[in-house]
């Protein structure tokens, strides 16, 4: 066991706990240096979509590493070209150009800058506001955090953040008829702000960990698309978490027949083998910039990096060859059935999700849907109890009011089998019992 402060030179994210040292990982299993095995039921942070230790991805990455650093202003290379064209082949029609970066936060920042640049190039510099939802999470860099409806992440950084308009996120569990859930909240907010001032609406098509795998209705999406098109507001879909097959379609927006103007990808895009994210834009947006200023006014040293793009290319090919997107769709039912079994416990208020993205919501009172008091730390304690049983799940707190709200996310590698899904439910159930 490696200890946190003061026994190490590593500045851990959490300084109040010990971490096992991961020594090896294969498929859905991570093994520590003491030989203890953990079932990775959330791909780390909803990242390891093709499982761990995939030899062919490692080999592609090693080949690209031999090329080393190639600057995107001076050269192109085969990994970025092939990744972009193989990605374009699975993208919804109309989306095509991929701009590759490292993290989801960076890609969100790039996406909102792209939206802004488009309006400036169209001669409409008054359009600059970005509307987003609460709860939501779009990243930890300052603009992405400004757009994230996560009050407890933002609190101490208040003076550094920008003010953007925010609307309630869909919440079919607690507020099924509210404007945030029906999609009317966007129209109301655009009227309030003046649509001539709004550049884009940034939204997760299927909720990530901040709201807990919320699946909006088709009606929600019809209203949102109508408002965006009617008021010339660009639609930016943040699929950092829910994209790349996680929900049983290549992209979550496909469940609703929606093609955004800009799509943001990350996490599973690189299979977790190398940091990789992307901003994907409609061809006409890029063509407008090409005919206008001639360049996207945004650059980062490590954009289009060969090693990251090689990880993305090999991951994409692996997803296709093993038909893992179809597999995620087919496993939605067994995963849901297994997690639904936890409802015998009265603290399980809701089980929801799409494909292999699922959330279990824990409540103090199932009838009133009243959350637990924050001090009870239910999601964290449940996650810790599961970890002690060799099960890795992802806790989330505060989605109800910024303080209260307990979610446990289950989002295993898309390679998982039904016996391991049963294992997840069994170990989570045992951890819940322990919590009593
Ligand atoms: N967008 C969504 C929907 C996310 O879930 C995350 C991370 O969890 C991000 C953006 C930020 O990605 P990253 O942590 O790679 O910067």
Mean pLDDT by 10 residues, the chain (436 residues): 64 86 97 98 96 97 97 96 98 96 98 98 98 97 96 91 97 96 98 98 96 97 98 98 98 98 98 98 96 95 97 98 98 98 97 98 97 96 97 96 95 98 98 92
Spacing, Cα 46 to ligand 1 middle (Å): 10
Spacing, Cα 41 to ligand 1 middle (Å): 18
Asked whether 415 and 28 are in contact (CB, 8 A), the reply is: yes
Sheet holding 348-354, edge to edge: 348-354, 357-362, 406-410, 394-397
Asked whether 331 and 41 are in contact (CB, 8 A), the reply is: no
Q: Which residues, at least 6 apart from 164, have a Cβ–Cβ distance to it below 8 Å?
A: 129, 130, 131, 132, 146, 147
pLDDT at position 436: 77
Q: How many CB atoms lie within 10 A of CB 114?
A: 24
Spacing, Cα 137 to ligand 1 middle (Å): 7
Please tell me if the CB atom of residue 103 comes closer than 6 angstroms to any atom of ligand 1.
Answer: yes
Spacing, Cα 164 to ligand 1 middle (Å): 18
Which of 139, 149, 209, 279 to mutate to test ligand 1, by most ligand atoms within 8 A of the CB atom? 139
Spacing, Cα 241 to ligand 1 middle (Å): 7
**Closest ligand 1 atom, CA of 141?**
16
Give the closest residue (by CA) to ligand 1 atom 7: 139
Q: How far apart are the first and last CA of the chain?
A: 28
β-pairing verdict for 391-392 and 37-40: parallel
- Residue 407: strand pairing partners: 361, 396
Nearest to 315 by CA among 269, 356, 348, 282: 269
**Closest ligand 1 atom, CA of 104?**
12
pLDDT at position 13: 84
Half-sphere exposure of 226 (CA within 13 A, CB side): 12
pLDDT at position 6: 53
Q: Which residue has the tokens 């490590």?
A: 302
Spacing, Cα 301 to ligand 1 middle (Å): 20
**Closest ligand 1 atom, CA of 103?**
15
């Amino acid at each position: 066991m490696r200890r946190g402060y003061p026994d190490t030179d590593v500045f851990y994210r959490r300084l109040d706990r010990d971490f096992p040292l991961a020594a090896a990982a294969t498929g859905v299993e991570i093994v520590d240096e003491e030989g203890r095995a953990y079932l990775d039921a959330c791909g780390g942070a909803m990242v390891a979509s093709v499982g761990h230790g995939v030899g062919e991805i490692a080999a592609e990455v090693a080949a690209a590493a031999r090329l080393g650093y190639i600057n995107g202003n001076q050269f192109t290379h085969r990994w970025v070209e092939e990744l972009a064209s193989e990605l374009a082949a699975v993208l919804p029609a109309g989306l095509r150009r991929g701009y590759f970066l490292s993290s989801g936060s960076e890609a969100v920042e790039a996406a909102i800058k792209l939206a802004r640049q488009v309006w400036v190039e169209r001669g409409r510099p008054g359009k600059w506001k970005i509307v987003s939802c609460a709860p939501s999470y779009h990243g930890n860099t300052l603009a992405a955090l400004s757009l994230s409806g996560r009050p407890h992440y933002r609190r101490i950084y208040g003076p550094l953040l920008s003010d953007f308009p925010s609307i309630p996120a869909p919440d079919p569990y607690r507020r099924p008829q509210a404007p945030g859930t029906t999609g009317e909240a966007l129209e109301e907010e655009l009227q309030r702000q003046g649509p001539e001032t709004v550049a884009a609406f940034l939204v997760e098509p299927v909720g990530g960990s901040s709201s807990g795998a919320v699946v909006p209705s088709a009606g929600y999406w019809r209203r949102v698309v109508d408002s965006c098109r009617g008021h010339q507001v660009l639609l930016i879909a943040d699929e950092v978490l829910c994209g790349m097959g996680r929900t049983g379609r290549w992209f979550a927006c496909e469940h609703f027949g929606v093609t955004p103007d800009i799509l943001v990808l990350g996490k599973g895009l690189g299979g977790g083998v190398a940091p990789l994210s992307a901003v994907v834009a409609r061809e006409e947006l890029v063509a407008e910039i090409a005919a206008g200023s001639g360049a996207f006014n945004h650059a980062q040293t490590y954009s289009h990096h060969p090693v990251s793009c090689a990880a993305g290319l090999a991951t994409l090919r692996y997803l296709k060859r093993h038909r893992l997107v179809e597999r995620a769709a087919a496993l939605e039912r067994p995963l849901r059935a297994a997690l639904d079994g936890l409802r015998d416990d009265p603290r399980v208020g809701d089980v929801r999700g799409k494909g292999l993205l699922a959330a279990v919501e824990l409540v103090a009172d199932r009838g009133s849907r009243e959350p637990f008091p924050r001090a009870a730390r239910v999601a964290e304690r449940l996650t810790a109890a599961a970890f002690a049983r060799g099960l890795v799940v992802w806790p989330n707190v505060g989605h109800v009011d910024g303080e209260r709200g307990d979610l446990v996310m289950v989002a295993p590698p898309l390679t998982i089998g039904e016996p391991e899904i049963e294992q997840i439910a069994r170990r989570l159930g045992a951890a819940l019992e322990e919590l009593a």
